[in-house]
Structure 1
Amino acid sequence: MTADGFVAALLADEGGSDWPARVPHRLDAVLAALPLPARAGMRTAVAAVETYALARTGRRLAVLRPDEREDVLRSLALRPRLAPLLDLLKVPVLLAAGTERTPLAPAPVPAPEDPPLDCTPAGEWPARTTADAVVVGSGAGGAMAARTLARAGLDVVVLEEGGHHPTASFGHRAPLDRFTELYRDGGATVAVGRPPVLLPVGRAVGGTTVVNSGTCYRTPDHVLTRWRSTFGFALAERFGPLLDEAERTLRVAPQPLDVLGNNGLLTLTGAERLGWRAAPLRRNAPGCKGSCQCVVGCPTGAKQSVQLSVLPDACAAGARIVTGARVHRILLDHDVPGPPRAAGVRARRPDGGELEILSPLVVVAAGTLQTPPLLRRSGLGGHPRLGRNLSVHPATSVAGRFAEPVTAWRGVLQSVGVEELHADGILLEATASPPGMSSFVLPGLGRELRRELEGSDRLATLGAMIADRPSGRVGGRDRALVRYDLDPRDGDRLMTAVRAMGRLLFAAGATEVLTGVPGAPRARSLDDLDELLAPVGARDLHVSAFHPTGTAAAGGDPRRAPADPEGRLRGVHGVLVADGSVLPGCPEVNPQLSIMAAALAVTDAWLGGARHGG
């Protein structure tokens, strides 16, 4: 995509610095990682801006003077039908611009050697093999399931669509380059709806645990009570000791103050001045160096993602991992009385070839968004609630400008939790971004935007996520088609969260707050913030989400739950569900521990039944 003129206009490139000229090339690399529809949409949007410039000036953006280019963009921003194009295009351009302007510092220490994994690329795996159990997916749920079954003496094969990325591969590559490689669809998974929601999920050995924040909350007791009493999710009764086991495995502990960074320390200051409950988050990152790169692969190996903590134990017990293998369908044996039985899986290699693994047990842990399409492709998608009940933790962020440098990308990426509003379904977390990935909230165009970008080291950032009603669904067979319409109650919670984050930042000493809302970009006082936000609704925010759950929920009511109370898929023998999709409702916190406990409970229950002939 040729976007030199648009990039020059958006960033007010007047030739005085080298880095803006490198942004179009970086932008092309970002877009190349996106799925075809997203690339086509971006090209169409850039073309529309160029067409507008031609109609207004008779010349393309690249040949206009800097002031003429800026005039075109400002005129475009005033047109209600075309202004959203600018909002759409700013995000990838600012990602590319931030990466070029703030290059990655060298890794602070040599990367440690990862624990060994028994990984075989799909192209090197035999066309037909057998196993006692096949686990589809190697994330939080799949890893725990594989370890549990392998330790019980089963011959376990884990199939992972993504590749294996060792810690040593992270330290000397730009975060943005890793982002597009470690996430499905280059990080551009979107739930269409009102409003559209960006929903990035990982695709690698270790799944999304490779690219999450490392925050480890236990499932709240009131959530477990609701799962048991309302949904009949019997396994929730066992979660206490299973959460303990997950915490021990991941070496979870509160993050020490000396590595939090200014972003977290300012959050603690603001919360203390308001009298709000806040503390450093519990994380699976002993020895964290504060490199602020959790979401693109920890370069120091401190974050105990499951490819460093759970899968090595599974492999030590005999499990094997096949990488680059997309499971196309679960094989079924229909020549038995009653419901069909699992007979294994068929997977596709990157070159289009296929492999089969025959097995009487299939554990589906492909992820909340991928499990429903897999079950449909396998002829197991008949339950009317499969793919429904999707919760996603809608999230938004706010930034505060401070008089002194904050340099939020030095320190822990997600460092402090503010639980003052958690009883109302709102969890605030101090969340920064890696170098070159922190420009989402910046307002303005041209010279104004350039000033914001060059002053981004003085910004502190907060994020909020909402315990949402299950307002989404996952359709599709070959590809997940995600739909999510924000519930009005949850929209109100997001707006409450924006106001709360602004209040906290002002309490910490911010001179202004950047809302991320194009029509109400900056406030310089609490009264100013309230006045600006009065006409704003949740659909005006940049909404993203990170924790999809619930699309193959377990429960006691066969009409409501595709899986039974112990995580066994209904209508078939030998298929277990052991990822976020099995959770019956929103966990209200970062869900890694909840998913690991659920997978451990599901596989333990199956092993207990198998030992007793169930």
Structure 2
Amino acid sequence: MRFEPISPDLPEVADVLVIGAGASGAVVVSELARRGFSTVCLEQGGWTPRSEFLGASAGWELGSQQTWHPNPNVRQGVSDYPIDVSQSDVNPLMYSGVGGSTILYGAHWTRATPSDFRVYTLDGVADDWPLTYEELAPFYERIDDVMGISGLSDDPAYPDGVRYPLPPLPLGRVGMVAARGMDKLGWHWWPATNAIASRRYRGRESCVRRGTCQTGCPEGAKATTDITHWPDAIADGARLVTGARVRELTTDANGLVDSAIYIDRDGRERRQRAHVVVLAANGIGTPRLLQLSTSARHPNGLANSSGQVGKRLMIHPYASVDGLYAEPLEAWLGPAGQTIISMEFYETDKSRGFVRGGKWHAMPTGGPQGHRSAYAGRPPADQWGTNFHHRISEVGRSFEWGVIAEDLPAESNQVLLANNLTDTDGIPAPKVIYKTSEDTSAKLAFHVNRMREAHLASGAISTSETSLMRDSGYHLLGTARMGDDPASSVVDSYGQSHDVPNLYILDGSTFVTSFGVNPTNTIMALALRGVEHMIKNRAQQKVATHV
């Protein structure tokens, strides 16, 4: 097979090749470049200039429903790949580009708890992680500092000693009213922790509360890795190739991964060689690429002797309750993410009929278009005509209690290669099979009932619920799980493949369980821990040979 020659500014053989320039890929590349490693990153998307974000424009709400929709099947951008969701209850959401899904995330920043790493020991379900909260805590702290996290210390739901570099964002009227009900019920709440600057921080502006966080931040107040990590990484010598859609990872005679074959923006097939390869392509992109990379030595996909690649997908199915209030709440003001959180129902109480729980967050409901179409799948009659005019009168007077409910792993929930769907380069697209379990359904129903109680305690005059939001699959976890036993896991606790020792996976696909909180800070902390282990043990690292 003939490949186009690589660009002259790229090394013929990189020390480390990283696939994906999002949350974890940026952490890995920045650490390697800072330490002097020859590092190349392949990213199928491109840079997204702040000038393209519509948050400061009159057309923002309309643009958010297409151009900046988080569902790639709706957005259909040039860098996106389609996903077969015909057998999934939830649509996966993601963004291809420098910064990855941090470009569109809500910047909720909530750590896992110590119990999250010991689910089997405590509750007899799923598996324990091969590391503890205490081992990860120093890496959480370092990521918090780089990302400029705004929060209030000493939340009693967490161990002592958690500190943040910036004070919390204002609670606003939404947060104050939400807290009023929680106080009345005697339930835990705390000012929310967000990856959004409450003050100027390391060149980033402070939040101006536009409430457009989930379609990009025009001010750059939201911590996205295209501004927190990539400028320094490139200054330190990292090479970033955008518009590079990876088709396959190849291996040498010893079974070690030695290169990535990718298609550039002009449709030319290229090959980047490397001694070590890191996958950071998210919980769908990573198993897709591993399954595409078959060979005589790896007939079921690369690094898949355990059969676990693509299995145990966890998405965090999402439920919410909106409360309508007589008083004005200025619910168009940001941040669009959480104002206060609650961990009242996070830990297991078996009297509820299920194990584990979830984190709540109070969120504003936005302006006219955001309020009308926040949830995909509602019948048109509920959105337009008389109902549209009726709902416009409610704008600014409501807020949402939402829950991130822990999604326990099931082998039947998985990522496969689609039989009859490809991306624009002819590469097989992923197919997602995901069904909510009886346990998950019971968990969501419990939380919906409690969130309704919280609204009523706050003085809501009416409530409406979404028992399962279809467009909620931001958290793509568990499809290349970590563990100590190579027979039942894909990588070890540092993300190093059991089968292919010069292949690392440092993204959300390595999660053993999903926790009941937003995962980005855990993904980045694990990536930092993994890359530092790689660097520390570089002398013992097996590497691909290139002749």
Q: TM-score, normalised by structure 2?
A: 0.79
1:499 maps to 449
Quote the residue 1:437 is aligned against: 370
Counterpart in 2 of 1:408?
A: 331
2:40 aligns to what SS in structure 1? strand
Task: Indicate conservation of the 8 Å contact 1:190/1:196, yes or no.
Answer: no
Q: Distance in 2 between matches of 1:205 and 1:276?
A: 40
Equivalent residue in structure 2 for 1:167, among 34, 47, 50 = 50
**Aligned position for 2:144:** 247
1:452 aligns with 2:391: yes
* CA distance in structure 1 between the partners assigned to 2:43 and 2:62 by the alignment: 23
**Runs of 4+, deviation exceeding 6 Å:** 122-128, 188-191
Judge conservation of contact 1:399–1:459 (CA < 8 Å) in 2: yes
Mapping of 1:196-345 within 5 angstroms?
A: 196-226=89-119, 230-231=127-128, 233-234=130-131, 238-254=135-151, 259-286=170-197, 287-334=206-253, 336=254, 340-345=255-260
After alignment, is 174-183 or 227-236 more displaced?
Answer: 227-236
2:12, 2:34 → 1: CA distance? Answer: 21
Please tell me the residue identity of whatever aligns with 2:26: A
- Write the distance in 1 (CA, Å) between the matches of 2:121 and 2:190: 29
Q: In the alignment, is the contact (CA less than 8 A) between 1:125 and 1:322 conserved in 2?
A: no
Counterpart in the other structure of 1:417: 341
Instruction: Return the alpha-carbon distance in structure 2 between the equivalents of residues 454 and 197 of structure 1.
Output: 30
Q: Which ranges in structure 1 are unaligned for 5 or more consecutive residues?
A: 1-121, 517-537
Highest CA radius of gyration, 1 or 2? 1
Question: How much does 1:578 deviate?
Answer: 0.5
**Alignment-mate amino acid for residue 45 of structure 2:** G
Say if 1:508 and 1:123 are closer, same or farther in 2 by CA, change over 3 A.
Answer: farther
State the match for 1:349 in structure 2: 264
SS in 1 for 2:258: strand
What's 2:439 paired with?
489
Q: Give the root-mean-square deviation of aligned CA atoms.
A: 2.8
1:554–1:584: 8 Å Cα contact kept in structure 2?
A: yes
Aligned pair count?
A: 467
Amino acid at match of 1:244: E
Looking at structure 1, the residues matched to 121 and 232 of structure 2 have their Cα atoms a distance apart, in angstroms, of 31
Q: Distance in 2 between the 1:165 and 1:577 partners?
A: 25
Aligned to 1:397: 320
Deviations 1:128-173 (A, max 9, x none): 8432111101111111111121122111111111121122332436
Q: Pick one of 277, 280, 285 that aligns with 1:365.
A: 280
What amino acid is the match of 2:527?
A: A
Question: CA 1:285/1:127 → structure 2, altered by over 3 Å: closer, same or farther?
Answer: closer
Equivalent residues of 2:118, 2:128 under 8 A apart: no
Higher relative contact order (CA 8 A, sep 6+): 2
Please give the alpha-carbon distance, in whole angstroms, between the structure 2 residues aligned to 1:602 and 1:228.
25
Q: 1:242 aligns to what SS in structure 2?
A: helix
Give the Cα–Cα distance (whole angstroms) in 2 for the partners of residues 359 and 176 of structure 1: 44
More helix by share: 1
SS at match of 1:209: helix
C-alpha spacing 1:573/1:224, structure 2 compared with 1 (3 Å): same
- Give matches, 1:67-78, under 5 Å: none
- 2:162 matched to which residue of 1? none
Structure 2 counterpart of 1:7: none
Give, in angstroms, the shift of residue 445 of structure 1. Answer: 6.2
Supply the distance in 1 between the matched residues of 2:168 and 2:272 (Cα, whole angstroms): 48
Q: What SS is found at the alignment partner of 1:462?
A: strand
Q: Give 1:207 shift.
A: 0.7
1:308 alignment partner, SS class: helix
Greater CA deviation, 160-169 or 288-297?
A: 160-169
